[in-house]
Amino acid sequence: MQAPVFVGHDLYRQAAYGRHHPLAIPRVESATELCRTLGWLENGAYCISPHASEAQLERFHSAGYVAALRTASETGSVPAGVRQRHGIGTMENPLFPGLFERASTSVGGSIRAAELALQGRLAFHPAGGTHHGRPDRASGFCYFNDPVFAILTLLDGGVERLLYVDLDAHHGDGVQDAFAQDPRVHTVSIHEQGRWPYTGGAEDVGGGRARNLPVPRGFNDSELAVLVDGVVLPLAQRIRPEAVVLTCGADALEGDPLSAMALSNVALWSAVEALAALAPATVVLGGGGYNPWTVARYWAGLWGRLSEKEFPRALAPEARAILEPLRCDLIDEEDVRAEWRETLADAPNPGPVRREIHDLV
Ligand SMILES: [Zn+2]
């Protein structure tokens, strides 16, 4: 087994999404900095993400949309018709300096991650996971759909059976729809029921190979284990995937301001670890996540687990100095827990397994 690789880029240090957007918080940069501070990015573990070219982007996105996004990003404005047609320059998907470069780098990173996975290196790309992007429009804070490109790259490499598992709090609608007609791709999405985009009900099988597991508020560690052991792993045993792509949005964690799931990061680390081991080629992506502390801790610790690093008993002052200054408009100061600033691992959050969860199995 070759050493895993972390795909990143310095441009994620730049402010993005404007001042009042839920994604206007540091996420990838703080996770990356935590890993760096912990000594977890040494010895060639870090790979700089390339940008995707327009020709690459047009493999999934329409040429008109790619050009419109580039122009809007360069000029900082968008005509009303373009806004309407492509969903850009809105409250949801705002324009901001560096938008096109950032979005196309996220695609380039997922393509590179898939190329590395084909070479036998587990690839972690926390800036990926924009699972709502559509061929002709932005959706749900996602301008392009980088998981689609990771999957296309793996299929290009000869993969015949691919499993995509989406652990973000929101339904992985854009990825499911992109491959609904492709018999090589199976998709599973575990997400909070009754949340935007309101698709992905238990009866939704997409083109026939999608499995959707909508879960109730307060979804806990024990319930995650039941779904992973009772649905996802048995499905994987039937498919025998040659490649696995995982979207690991941090909004499924307890404390996220935009969703109401209650997972601990340790439960998600274990689930991702089990899923990542299912195939010889694995790409692990990020996704949503609107609590800057829980995002940074989840993704940093996920890299630590995937690359088999030793976890410190307590975070050193340099690591705490990354978590301490974080701020979030969506979370009241008195709700910021001390452990979010001082530790990496959450306490596990087991609980009763509710009827709705058993019904999904
Ligand atoms: Zn999400």
DSSP states of 195-237: -TT----TT--TTTTEEEEEE-TT--HHHHHHHIIIIIHHHHH
How far away, in angstroms, is 129 Cα from ligand 1 center? 9
How far away, in angstroms, is 147 Cα from ligand 1 center? 14
How far away, in angstroms, is 197 Cα from ligand 1 center? 10
Mean pLDDT of 24-45: 96
How far away, in angstroms, is 296 Cα from ligand 1 center? 15
Reported confidence tier of residue 18, pLDDT bands at 50, 70, 90 = confident
Digit-coded pLDDT (tens) for 294-327: 999 999 999 999 999 999 989 999 999 999 999 9
- Nearest one of 207, 201, 117 to 159, comparing CA atoms: 117
How far away, in angstroms, is 52 Cα from ligand 1 center? 23
How far away, in angstroms, is 73 Cα from ligand 1 center? 24
Provide the pLDDT for residue 66.
98
Provide the pLDDT for residue 181.
97
How far away, in angstroms, is 251 Cα from ligand 1 center? 6
Reported confidence tier of residue 15, pLDDT bands at 50, 70, 90 = confident
- Nearest one of 81, 154, 109 to 10, comparing CA atoms: 109
Digit-coded pLDDT (tens) for 191-233: 999 999 999 999 999 999 999 999 999 999 999 999 999 999 9
How far away, in angstroms, is 191 Cα from ligand 1 center? 8
How far away, in angstroms, is 166 Cα from ligand 1 center? 10
Please give the Cα distance from 202 to 133 (Å, whole number): 22
- List 47's β-bridge partners, or say none: 7
Mean pLDDT of 107-111: 98
| Active-site choice (61, 131, 132, 186) | 132
How far away, in angstroms, is 172 Cα from ligand 1 center? 8
25-40 as b/e, with b when 16 or more CB fall inside 10 Å?
Answer: bbbbbbbbbbbbbbeb
| Two structure tokens written together for 102 | 């950032």
End-to-end Cα spacing for the chain: 33
Digit-coded pLDDT (tens) for 169-184: 999 999 999 999 999 9
Residue 1 has pLDDT above 80, yes or no: no
Q: How far is CA 234 from CA 176, 255, 360, in A?
A: 20, 30, 13
Please give the Cα distance from 341 to 343 (Å, whole number): 6
Q: Is position 132 annotated as part of the catalytic site?
A: yes
Mean pLDDT of 45-67: 98
| Two structure tokens written together for 2 | 């070759």
Please give the Cα distance from 211 to 199 (Å, whole number): 12
| Half-sphere exposure for 217 (CA within 13 Å, toward CB) | 8
Mean pLDDT of 39-50: 96
Residue 247 has pLDDT above 90, yes or no: yes
How far away, in angstroms, is 211 Cα from ligand 1 center? 17
